[in-house]
Structures are given as structure tokens and as C-alpha cells.
Amino acid sequence: MKTHYITITLSTLVFSASFVANAKIYKREDNTCFPITQEKYEVGTKSFNTMSESDFNKVVDNVTSAMTLEIKRRLNKDLIVERKWSDSTVDAFATRDEVNNPVIVINGGLARHPYMTKDGLALLICHEVGHHLGGAPKSFRGNSGLRSWSSAEGQADYFATTKCLPYVFKGEAVSKNLESESDSAEYSAASSKCKDAICTRTVLAGLAVSKVFASLLRGSLEPSLLLNDPTSVSTTIYKHPNPQCRLDTYSSGALCDLGIEFPFDLADPKIGACLKDQGIRPSCWFNDDEFMKK
């Protein structure tokens, strides 16, 4: 069973999706959202936004409550989310249980990382949902050449900012004051790419997450909204793109106007994706010649 990385409350819907009393131990395997790291952030460590356990739970609730019905509609399965606030490891992952219900596990150490923000955490949960709902291109099962149940890492990133995060933000009652809570230069760079506040907020969440990724990779340059990865791959990358490439993917996804009402297809990566101009999947991980002419 392959594993990838990253509970809903108060309603009967939430109860069915996130109830994990007597929770099982879900296995984290090699193919994960995060590089293996020894970094740990114990309970009490302050993140940039001083994320508390209450903040952590609220973010998890917001995303999973928004995605539970989508999981039910698309897969006819129940979303299971295990939140491990006390676990200090910077980690999260997606997997499935014995009856193929989608499972997401998320550690508190991830939320307490110094670069993490609440919106960044929401994006990462969306990324994990994207392994289940992101569609093609799908990862491969080891060296078999057979496709996995899980979307590729870059595709899960793309799902997070095309379908999931804008939907989560749109459903929130109070809009966040981005300008006052963000670095002014970063806010200006994000807003210059976007036509509305939801897009700007999504791009800034992608920037925060990309900085977390870069901090976990020795020698990696800090990603920037003023740069783009110039790489053009000859073969689609199914594992982790570099942090700048991931930021480019998050930004492109935020600019794609095909939202959650245009779901990705399990086999055809053209369906549900923007195919030209702004919003396309970056060539630093995705080679459209492999798929677009089929």
C-alpha cells in the first residue's frame, strides 16, 4: 500500500468522516509528500502565526468538512483524517485503509514549523486530498509500470490550488485581511499575479509551503514569486519537484479558472485542467507531450 503526504466536528457528517476512536496505525511508506527529515518541533514551539492546537484543529476541520462530500461524490468512500498534534515530526501523508477509504494523517510538528502559516497548512491538507482526487497523471506502483491509486506529487499540488483551496476559502464567512498580515513585498508579488483576493491568498499559501519544503532540503534555494523554474522536463516527474517548481505549480493552479465543479479525470490529464495560457501545469515537472496528443 503506497503512502503520500499530509476530522470534522460537531455534525453527523463530520462524525462519519473523521471519527478515529481506537484509531489504527497507518503506515508511512517511501513515496510521501515530504522528504525524510530529522527536524522536530515539539508542542509549545511557536510558528510564524503562533499556531495553537485550536488553530490546527480549526484548519483541519475547515478543509476536511469541505472535501468530505467531494470524496463521497467522486469515490463513494468516507474520508478518514487522523490528526496527531503531539507528534513533533514535520510530516503528513495520504494512504488508504483496508476497504480503500481515503486516509490522511497530519502531524503537529508540521503545523509548528517556523515557516508554516494557517493557510499553508490548509494547502497541505488539500495536497493530501489531491492524492485521492487529483486524477491523472497517476503515480506508478514501484517499478511495475502499472498506475497507482495516487495522483503524482505535482498533480496533488495542482489539485490543491485549482480545486480545493479556493473552494475552502470561498466557503469561509470572513475574508482574511491579507495585506496587513503578509510581508508587503510578497503580498504585492502575489496580488500582481491575481485578479481577486482568493487567488492572492492561495498564492501566498503556496509560497509559505514552498519555503517549508526548501528548508527541509539541504542546499535548496528559497523559492520566490519573482522567479520561475526554467526547467523543461523530457519526462513527467512523479515524485517531488523542487521547491521553486512546486511554487510555480501552486501559482499556476491559483490562476486556473476551472474550479471544483470541473473535476480531474482518473485517466485523462486534459480533463479538468487548464491547457493554455495562465493556469497550465509547469513544464518543470509536467511534460504535456506525453499526454496531450493522445
pLDDT beyond 90 at 65: yes
- Residue 89 resides in a domain: yes
Q: Which helix (H) or strand (E) holds 116?
A: none
Residue 31's pLDDT is 46
Q: What pLDDT score does 47 carry?
A: 58
User: How confident is the model at residue 18, as a pLDDT?
Assistant: 43
- 251 is a domain residue: yes
The whole-number average pLDDT for the span 180-207 is 92
pLDDT of the residue at 231: 97
190, pLDDT greater than 90? yes
Cell matching residue 251: 501559482
Average pLDDT over residues 103-111: 94
| pTM (predicted TM-score) | 0.88
Encode 101-114: b = buried (16+ Cβ within 10 Å), e = exposed: bbbbbbbbbbbbbe
Work out the average pLDDT over 30-37.
58
Structural domain count, the chain: 1
pLDDT at 195 exceeding the cut of 70: yes
Cα–Cα distance, 136 to 122 (Å, whole number): 22
Query: Which has the closest alpha carbon to 88: 110, 119, 56, 71?
Result: 110
Contact 110, 60 (CB under 8 A): no
Pairing of strands 102-107, 80-84: parallel
5 belongs to a structural domain: no
The answer to whether residue 169 sits within a structural domain is: yes
Concatenated DSSP letters of 202-271: HHHHHHHHHHHHHHHSTTPPPP-TT-------SS---SPPPHHHHHHHHHHHHH----TTSPPPSS-TTT
Contacts of 242 (CB under 8 A, 6+ apart): 217, 220, 229, 284
Q: What's the distance, Cα to Cα, between the start and end of the chain in Å? A: 29
Q: Measuring CA to CA, how many Å separate 102 from each of 63, 73, 160?
A: 14, 13, 16
Any domain includes 224: yes
154 falls within a domain: yes
* pLDDT tens sequence across 228-239: 999 999 999 999
Looking at every residue in the chain, the average pLDDT score rounds to 87
User: Does residue 108 carry a pLDDT above 90?
Assistant: yes
pLDDT reported for residue 171: 78
Instruction: Classify residue 180: in a domain, yes or no.
Output: yes
The whole domain housing 119 covers 12-290
In a domain, 2, yes or no: no
